[in-house]
Amino acid sequence: MRIIIAPDSYKGCMTAAEVAEAMGRGARRVFPQAELDLVPMADGGEGTVQAMVDATGGRLIQATVTGPLGEPVTATFGLMGDGETAVIEMAQASGLPLVPADRRNPLLTTTYGTGELIRLALEQGARRLIIGIGGSATNDGGAGMAQALGARLLDAAGHDLPHGGGALANLDRIDISGLDARLKNFAITVACDVDNPMTGERGAAAVFGPQKGATPEMVATLDQNLQHFAAIIRRDLGQDVEQVPGAGAAGGLGAGLMAFLGATLRRGVEIVVDAVGLTGRCEGSAMVLTGEGGTDFQTVRGKTPMGVARAAKVHGVPVICISGGLGRSYQEIYEVGIDAACSIVPGPMPLAEALERGPELVEDATERALRLARIGLR
């Protein structure tokens, strides 16, 4: 018997690899002779680098880059087991948690450090890049990212623009003649689970600006600046990305990655499923175990268990979801390919205790679920 174990992390408790190992120990209690294939998963957000490195036998690389406020920060990215695919989370270099609450100002924050991570991936010999763009502190349309890779954003006097979304008001022209030549043979896929355009009522500034510290006045300024940036991109680069779904992700970084680097936007979990070859690994398996910190109505909108279930159903393999908790309308997952769900918490328990006992509770819940599955197999 072969069992695929493909969970997401339990945020604040265990990494995806730790959850998979705990599920594996629980599975061994019921099926000691089973062949277990542990495939740590993610959906493109926090934990994606670690999950994909763990799942493919890759390695983590640490570097010092420019943070969102222009100060040095330590960031980690991954090189997958094939040695040719790099994985980056932009939040490592340009994320909101890197900016103290009293200093959050998207007029000033930059994606320059994200561009530096991309350049470092090139220096490692990567030919492909997967980049997750959730959790940003920025609203610069990817301008800083492009500058870090050699593009020049110039004002009317021919001076390079300073960092931040506020500076885009002075953009006069874009010069990409110095863009890193290695990018021509570099395939970039962006993990993006929002469909917001770059500008307008559903754009980067209006929807995401306030959580990054933008006042209503700042939101209006940032949106105008992104409209201006989009117009210059159309004129100088021949790319019309302003209203493309997902262009507004990460303060417009989605637009910048498409316009400057020719990136493709996809749902995060679909990228991870393909990258780790999950669909093929499910073939011939008896069952698939997945899970996440909390399963509810949002799971069917593209979270990890949803992506895992779709991969399993290609081969008709049953799926059990073992999660930290089952929330509102979690039953929707039964309509989209997950066959059973259970919580790791056996009874009323303080959250702090559940977090502390996470591995033990996952083991026990997996054993309970598979004992029931064994009855069905008989």
pLDDT tens, per residue, the chain with 378 residues:
999 999 999 987 898 999 999 999 999 999 999 999 999 998 888 888 998 898 899 999 999 999 999 999 999 999 999 999 999 999 999 999 999 999 999 999 999 999 999 999 999 999 999 999 988 999 999 999 999 999 999 999 999 999 999 999 999 999 999 999 999 999 999 998 788 999 999 999 999 999 999 999 999 999 999 999 999 999 999 999 999 999 999 999 999 999 999 999 999 899 999 989 999 999 999 999 999 999 999 898 888 999 999 999 999 999 999 999 999 999 999 998 999 999 999 988 898 998 999 999 999 999 999 999 999 888
93 and 6 fall within a common domain: no
Structure tokens that stand for 337 in this block: 């390919």
CATH code of the domain containing 90: 3.90.1510.10
Q: Which domain holds residue 372?
A: 2-41+285-377
CATH of the domain at 357: 3.40.50.10350
Q: Do 305 and 354 lie in a common domain?
A: yes
**Total structural domains within the chain:** 2
* 94 and 125 housed in the same domain: yes
In a domain, 101, yes or no: yes
> What stretch of H or E contains 88?
strand 85-89
> Buried b / exposed e across 243-258, counting CB within 10 Å, b at 16+?
ebebbbbbbbbbbbbb
Distance set, CA 181 to CA 53, 176, 329, 373 (Å): 27, 10, 49, 54
Q: Which two tokens stand for residue 299?
A: 């799971």
Q: Tokens 């940032």 appear where? A: 222
Angle of helix 358-377 relative to helix 16-30, nearest 10 degrees, comes to: 40
Residue-level pLDDT at 121 = 97
317 belongs to a structural domain: yes
Same domain for 262 and 154? yes
Choose the final residue of a domain: 234, 268, 302.
268
Per-residue confidence (pLDDT) for residue 158, from 0 to 100: 97
Q: Are residues 306 and 325 in the same domain?
A: yes
What does the alpha-carbon distance between residue 174 and residue 42 come to, in Å, rounded to a whole number?
36
Q: Is 168 in the same domain as 102? A: yes
Tell me: do 106 and 192 sit in the same domain.
yes
Same domain, 139 and 205: yes
Please name which of 328, 335, 319 lies closest in space to residue 294, comparing C-alpha atoms. 328
Is residue 278 assigned to a domain? no
- Regarding whether 94 and 53 lie in a shared domain, the answer is yes
Is 67 part of a structural domain of the chain?
A: yes
Last residue of a domain, one of 268, 293, 325: 268
**C-alpha to C-alpha distance for 220 and 237, rounded to whole angstroms:** 25
Residue 35 lies in a domain: yes
pLDDT at position 47:
84
Determine, yes or no, domain membership for 274: no
Report yes or no on 260 lying in a domain.
Answer: yes
**Sheet containing 85-89: order of strands:** 59-66, 72-79, 85-89, 128-132, 187-191, 264-266
Verify that 78 and 194 share a domain, yes or no.
Answer: yes
Q: Residue 14 is encoded by which pair of tokens?
A: 């265990």
What is the reported pLDDT for 376? 85
Per-residue model confidence (pLDDT) at position 290? 98
Based on the domain organization, do 215 and 348 belong to the same domain?
Answer: no
28 lies in the same domain as 62: no
> Does residue 273 sit within a domain?
no
> Residue 243's closest CA among 235, 254, 369, 232?
254
